[in-house]
Amino acid sequence: MIRTEKLTRDYGDGRGILDLDLHVPKGKIFGYIGPNGAGKTTTIKLLCGLLRPTSGRAFVNDIEVTPANTQTIKRLVGYLPDIFGVYDQMSVWEYLDFFCAAYRIKPRDRKERIDEALRLTDAAYMLDYQVASLSRGMRQRVGLAKTLLHDPEVLILDEPAGGLDPKARIEMRNTISRLRDLGKTILLSSHILPELASVCDLVGILKHGRLVAQGTVAEITDTLREKLVLVLAVDGGTPRAVMACLNFPNVAEAIASGDEIRLVFSGTRREMADLTSYLVGKGVRVRSLREAETNLEQVFLTVTGDAAQPDAAETGE
C-alpha cells in the first residue's frame, strides 16, 4: 500500500533521507522509528505530497505521489502530524464540521461522518465540548477523528502517543489496532518503542536518513549479534548445567533458580541452536531454551549503535 523507490530528500550536510526503499503491505501497522533528526518526518511529508523529493519515487496504492496526483493522494491518505492546529473557540462538532467542509464532504453526509469518526476514536461523548477544554489525550483523539472524516485507506500518524499519559497511550494503541482491523494501512512514527512493539506488525529503523532494518521484530533480531537474556529449563543436574553453560564461548553469565538458569548470551539467535546442541552433548537434559523477552528498545539501540533519544519532537528535518 505504501512503497518508495530510492526516495531521497537531500538538505545537504548529511540531513534528509537517502535512497529509501519502504514497503508497507495493505492492512498492516508499520512502526517507523529512528533517533531525532533521522528523517522520519521528512519521509512522512514526502508520502503526503507536502515535500518534493530530490530524487526517487513514492507510491500510495500504486499511485505515484506527484503534484499531478495530489488530489488523489489526499483522498487516499489521512495524516495526523505530531502537532496539529486546533481552534479553541469551537466546539468539537464545529471543529469536525469545518474539516468536513475542507474535505468537500456534502452537508447532508457530515453528521454521519462525524458520528462514525468519533465512535471509532471513542470520543463521541466530546461532541459538544469546547476544544479549549480538552486535555492532551482528548485532543489527540479528536485529531484522529478529524483524520478519519474522509475515510482514507492509509493513515500516517506522526507521534500519535507523544505527550500522553499511560492510560491515554493504551487507549490510543487500542484505537489504532481497531483501525487496522477495519482494513486501514497505518504508518506509525513514534519514539515510545514499547508501544510500537505491542501494536506493530512490521517496523523500519532509520539512521542518518537511511533505512538500516525493515521487517518484523523477529526477522530483524534473528540476524543481530547482541546481548540476549535466555532462560534455560533443565531436568535435574542444575549445577552441572551451569558449569556447562559458562564453558560455552557465547555465555557471559549463568544464574540458577530451581530448575531454570538465566543466561546472558552474546550472539545471534541462530547461534542459540549451537548452545542447545553443546549442552545435550555434555549430558545436560534440556527441557527448553527461550529468550526472556524481545525488547524493541534493545533492537533499536543495537541496529543504530546510538544511545537512547529522549521522547521529543523532531527538529532539523
Burial (CB count <10 Å: 0-12, 13-18, 19+), residue 27 = middle
Triad 234, 239, 244: Cα angle to 5°: 80
As a CATH number, domain 2-215 is 3.40.50.300
Q: Which amino acid is at 110?
A: R
Residue 311, pLDDT > 60, answer no
Q: Which amino acid is at 272?
A: M
Residue range(s) in the chain whose domain bears CATH number 3.30.70.100: 222-300
**Percentage of the chain surpassing pLDDT 70?**
88
All cell numbers assigned to 230: 535466555
**Architecture label for domain 222-300:** 2-Layer Sandwich (3.30)
Summarised one tens digit per residue, pLDDT across range 81-94 is: 987 777 888 999 99
> How much is the pTM?
0.74
Summarised one tens digit per residue, pLDDT across range 155-199 is: 999 988 877 887 888 888 899 999 999 999 999 997 667 667 778
Contact 90, 107 (CB under 8 A): no
Residue 310, pLDDT > 60, answer no
Residue range(s) in the chain whose domain bears CATH number 3.40.50.300: 2-215
Q: Which residue in 243, 269, 267, 237 sits closest to 255, CA to CA?
A: 243
Contact 228, 265 (CB under 8 A): yes
pLDDT, mean of residues 46-51: 94
